């Protein structure tokens, strides 16, 4: 990735998206997990048989064993980590990578170790941008504004079962593991990776990296973050970085709307023409629109139809709305 220096920018908030198509009908918050694939019946007979390394787990046929299950190799473990013949939980995808887990996929991790929080199933990206990334939050692309979503979804958790793959699911709204579950994985070396996915072309993507100032700061993202942190074009502080907050902005110079701004993230950084930074308007009763629906969460690119809609987000017909994001942390 080429990196060109750019000046530190103030929050520039012009051309905020204001067009939000309405559609009737509601969408549920939860989707049943149906990821269980077909397995041999021997994987369910309460006996250790075949190539199983422990009862009904491990080996090539059955699901991975969990903590303390017997294993011969990492692949025998749903935790992705086999140590001295027993599966062990590690604390994050980053920790799994550090322990030799180089495969992308869904693993059980225990962010607080022996602490009281139960292990979580998370999606690990171990193969791009240095690996070690845990999918933490997703804004699905939006075409409608009747999907009720709380601003505090990142903090509190919402539809975490939608984070077991990186697919964009139009109008399925937000998904988050909740920062309470993730906070033990945050330390002074932690970064977030934010990938914008074009609302009308899932293959068109742009990525920024943001330092996580603290676990508290992360919990306040999208609502009321008080701690600016570097926003960069690669996961290191260099000349590409500016500084920004992912936080709610009400009123202010040139801004009549209530929006959550992804500070420091403009598609100008990726060569597109845009009027401002990425932002969204999370649904809440106090910013309900005149059509009676709160806003949906699709991200505004601020690109409008500039350059023949080179950034392909025309779902709302206005050339700048409905994009998704994938937010990973490590």
Binding site for Ca ion (CB under 5 A): 42, 45, 47, 49, 56, 110, 112, 115, 117, 303, 309, 311, 313, 319-320
Nearer to Ca ion, 152 or 318 (CB): 318
DSSP string, 109-138: E-TTTTSSSPPEEEEEE-SSTTS-EEEEEE
Tell me the pairing of strands 279-280 and 258-262: antiparallel
Residue nearest to Ca ion (CB): 303
Nearer to Ca ion, 112 or 289 (CB): 112
Indicate the DSSP class of residue 254.
T
Nearer to Ca ion, 227 or 272 (CB): 272
Report the distance separating Cα 175 and Cα 326, nearest Å: 10
Nearer to Ca ion, 272 or 284 (CB): 272
At a CB cut-off of 8 Å and minimum separation 6, what does 315 contact? 141, 142, 143, 199, 200, 298, 321, 322
Q: For the chain, how long is the longest CA-to-CA vector?
A: 69
* Closest approach of Ca ion to the CB of residue 62, in Å: 7
Nearer to Ca ion, 112 or 227 (CB): 112
Is 246 in contact with 263 (CB distance < 8 Å)? yes
* Closest approach of Ca ion to the CB of residue 116, in Å: 6
Enclosing H/E stretch for 261: strand 258-262
* Closest approach of Ca ion to the CB of residue 281, in Å: 17
* Closest approach of Ca ion to the CB of residue 230, in Å: 27
* Closest approach of Ca ion to the CB of residue 305, in Å: 6
């Amino acid at each position: 990735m080429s990196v060109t220096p750019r000046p530190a920018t103030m929050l520039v908030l012009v051309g905020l998206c204001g067009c939000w198509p309405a559609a009737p009908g509601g969408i549920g918050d939860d989707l049943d997990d149906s990821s269980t694939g077909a397995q041999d019946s021997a994987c369910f007979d309460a006996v250790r048989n075949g190539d199983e390394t422990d009862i009904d787990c491990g080996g090539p046929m059955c699901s991975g064993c969990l903590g303390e299950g017997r294993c011969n190799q990492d692949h025998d473990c749903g935790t992705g980590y086999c140590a001295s013949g027993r599966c062990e939980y590690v604390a994050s995808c980053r920790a799994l990578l550090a322990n030799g887990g180089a495969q992308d996929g869904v693993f059980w991790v225990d962010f607080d170790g022996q602490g009281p929080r139960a292990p979580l199933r998370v999606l690990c990206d171990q193969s791009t941008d240095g690996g070690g990334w845990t999918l933490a939050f997703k804004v699905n692309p939006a075409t409608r504004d009747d999907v009720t979503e709380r601003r505090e979804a990142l903090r509190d958790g919402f539809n975490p079962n939608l984070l077991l793959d990186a697919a964009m699911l139009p109008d399925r709204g937000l998904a988050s593991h909740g920062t309470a579950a993730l906070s033990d994985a945050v330390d002074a070396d932690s970064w977030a990776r934010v990938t914008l996915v074009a609302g009308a072309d899932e293959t068109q993507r742009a990525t920024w990296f943001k330092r996580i100032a603290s676990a508290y700061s992360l919990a306040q993202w999208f609502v009321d973050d008080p701690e600016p942190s570097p926003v960069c074009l690669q996961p290191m502080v260099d000349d590409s970085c500016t500084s920004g907050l992912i936080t709610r902005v009400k009123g202010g110079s040139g801004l009549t709307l209530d929006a959550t701004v992804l500070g420091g993230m403009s598609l100008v950084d990726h060569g597109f023409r845009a009027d401002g930074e990425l932002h969204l308007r999370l649904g809440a009763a106090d910013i309900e629109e005149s059509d009676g629906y709160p806003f949906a969460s699709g991200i505004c690119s601020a690109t409008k139809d500039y350059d023949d809609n080179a950034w392909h987000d025309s779902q709302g017909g206005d050339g700048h709305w409905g994009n998704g994001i994938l937010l990973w942390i490590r």
